[in-house]
Amino acid sequence: MADSGRTIGAANGAHVKGGGEQLTTTGRFALTARIMAVNILPLLIMGGGLFYLDGYRTQLINERFKLARIEAQITAEALAGASRERQEALLVQIGKEQRMRLRMFDAKGKLTADSFALADPAFRFNDINDDDWEQRFARWLDRTVDTIVSAQPVQDYAEPESDDADAWPELARARELGLSQIRLYDWRDGTPVITAAAPVGLQGATLLTVRNAVDITESVRAARSTLGFAMLLLLAASALLSLFLARTIVTPLRQLARAAVRVRQGREREVEVPRLPQRSDEIGLLARAVSDMTGGLRQRIDAVDSFAADVAHEIKNPLASLRSAIESLPRVDDPALKQELIQIATHDVRRIDRLVTEISEASRIDAEMSRATLEIIDLADLARAIIGGREHRAENGGRQIDIVTSGTPVRVRGVGTRLERVVENLLDNAVSFSPPGAPIAVTVTNDGTWATLSVCDEGPGIPADARDKVFQRFHSVRPDAEDFGNHSGLGLAIGRAIAEAHDGTLSAHDRPDGAAGACLRLQLPVAT
């Protein structure tokens, strides 16, 4: 058959289409969303919990402030006007019921009654020297939280050495203003101590209440324990999820990295890059893309190696003939024989020139297609223009070329100059094998998915077992009457390379009408 050969890269699988994969993920959640949720959610919960507990503690203390002020005012009103015995009885009774310590001071600020001195103390402050490790840890955690949330420092509670009212700032201010005063202290174990001072009657007497708000500390620590337990569960779940992500992300990435290193080093020719077909997320897409890319690179290397060997072989033949003719010229005296040798040398030079031109074009197809900008091309209009130009240049050898189209636009996306080269090669091939005067039929159709251009001749046809060989590089079986030097054996190889670079195909078939001859069919995706 006519000009033939394999494509330099595409026919060997170098034009990788990702194995038919679409670059979309079908997993329920993308990896980015999962990673963000696992890493940010625990931090948000932890930070929110800390601020929540600090706000919760502040709210409890504020509520207790209101209660302490009301209790002090009510108690002061109950003590006003009562006898000394009645006042002492009220101090003891209220102190036991409300678990407070109450002190009465006269108009000169001298202590006149103390509920803890009149009866057994209603409460006792905790001795931190007797605390177990849980209580010490709780105090450490309280200090840590206060540091994180920048809590305002609170004065430590300590009983003054003097029994005078002036030893208590809140009492002194209540005596000065005649209004109840509230103050917050901290015991050494972190428990809030709330004092309230209120004037008693109009004679200048004052009342001081001291409450050890252990229940506030217990409530906050209980809430913190609950939150801590929840945080532990959350951290455990986060750790398990992190291990899961490490297994699903890091492990396959390491496999891909090791395979890529072996491929780069070239030490293992048949390195199996994992494709991870069970993965439908980005990792699976990456694995299949790397695997396809590796296969494409191997096939390109093989194609370059095979192409170099074929080029060397094809150029050696005309070079040997040319050298033989040139070496024989000085030893030949017969003018007719000299002329014949000169014709042989000229023929070989022309053949070498054509080979170099075709080889150069074939080697540039992949590179040019990677840089080219695709445009919308009407395949029927392109075919008409090429046929008209050939008739004008008388390149059809007197053969009639008839074109039949579907009457609708047959648009494809591609590089116009390259597709023009494919059609030219197909027409050159048909003209070479068509008998003189036999018509050549060109058909352009569109089935909605594929645009098809068929070139059918009435030549000897192509046997079924040879239809793939005609697209191999430098495979050329020319008609006996045709000058072989006019063909390099790369025409159909270049055509198939260009077709596959456009995601299409170029193949050989019998004529659809069953007559003698061959049909070369170019199929390209319809432009959408």
pLDDT tens per residue across all 528 residues of the chain: 444 333 333 333 333 333 334 334 444 455 566 666 777 777 677 666 666 677 778 888 889 899 999 989 999 988 888 888 999 999 999 999 999 999 999 988 899 999 999 999 999 888 888 888 888 888 887 788 777 777 788 888 888 888 888 889 988 888 888 888 899 988 888 889 999 999 998 777 888 888 888 888 888 888 877 877 777 787 778 777 777 777 777 778 888 888 888 777 765 556 677 777 787 778 888 888 888 887 777 777 776 776 666 667 667 777 888 888 888 888 888 888 888 888 888 887 887 777 777 666 666 666 666 677 789 999 989 988 988 888 888 888 778 888 888 777 889 998 888 888 889 888 888 888 888 888 899 999 988 889 999 999 888 888 888 777 777 766 565 554 444 444 556 778 888 888 888 889 999 888 888 788 889 999 999 987
Which region holds residue 145: left if phi is over 0, alpha if psi is between -120 and 50, else beta? Answer: alpha
From 74, 109, 73, select the one nearest 203 (Cα to Cα): 109
Show Cβ contacts of residue 130 under 8 Å, excluding neighbours closer than 6 positions. none
Contact at 8 Å (CB) between 464 and 513?
Answer: no
CATH of the domain at 163: 3.30.450.20
Among 224, 252, 267, the domain-final residue is: 224
Indicate the DSSP class of residue 107.
T
Q: Judge whether 255 lies within some domain.
A: no
Question: Within 10 A of 522 (CB to CB), how many other CB atoms are there?
Answer: 27
Output the pLDDT for position 1.
40
State the virtual CA torsion across 136, 137, 141, 144 in degrees, nearest 10.
Answer: 70
Q: Tell the burial category of 305 from Cβ atoms under 10 Å away from its Cβ (0-12, 13-18, 19+).
A: exposed
Q: Judge whether 314 lies within some domain.
A: yes
Show Cβ contacts of residue 73 under 8 Å, excluding neighbours closer than 6 positions. 180, 198
Output the pLDDT for position 31.
57
Residues 182, 315, single domain; the answer is no
Residues 192, 301, single domain; the answer is no
Residues 354, 437, single domain; the answer is yes
Q: How many domains does the chain have?
A: 2
Indicate the DSSP class of residue 156.
B
CATH of the domain at 512: 3.30.565.10
| Interatomic CA distance for residues 435 and 108, integer angstroms | 138
Output the pLDDT for position 17.
39
| Interatomic CA distance for residues 293 and 298, integer angstroms | 9
| Interatomic CA distance for residues 231 and 431, integer angstroms | 82
- Residue 143 lies in domain: 32-224
Residues 305, 216, single domain; the answer is no
Among 200, 224, 248, the domain-final residue is: 224
Contact at 8 Å (CB) between 490 and 474?
Answer: yes
Show Cβ contacts of residue 50 under 8 Å, excluding neighbours closer than 6 positions. 145, 148, 149
Handedness of CA 79, 85, 91, 96 (dihedral sign): negative
Output the pLDDT for position 113.
92
Residues 393, 517, single domain; the answer is yes
Rg (Cα) of the chain, in Å, rounded? 49
From 169, 180, 181, 184, select the one nearest 216 (Cα to Cα): 184
Q: What is the pTM of this model?
A: 0.45
Q: Judge whether 143 lies within some domain.
A: yes
Output the pLDDT for position 196.
92
Q: Judge whether 24 lies within some domain.
A: no
Residues 191, 65, single domain; the answer is yes
Among 177, 198, 224, the domain-final residue is: 224
Residues 309, 391, single domain; the answer is yes
Show Cβ contacts of residue 468 under 8 Å, excluding neighbours closer than 6 positions. none
Q: Judge whether 479 lies within some domain.
A: yes
Helix pair angle (133-148, 214-245), 10° resolution: 80
Both tokens assigned to 62? 């504020």
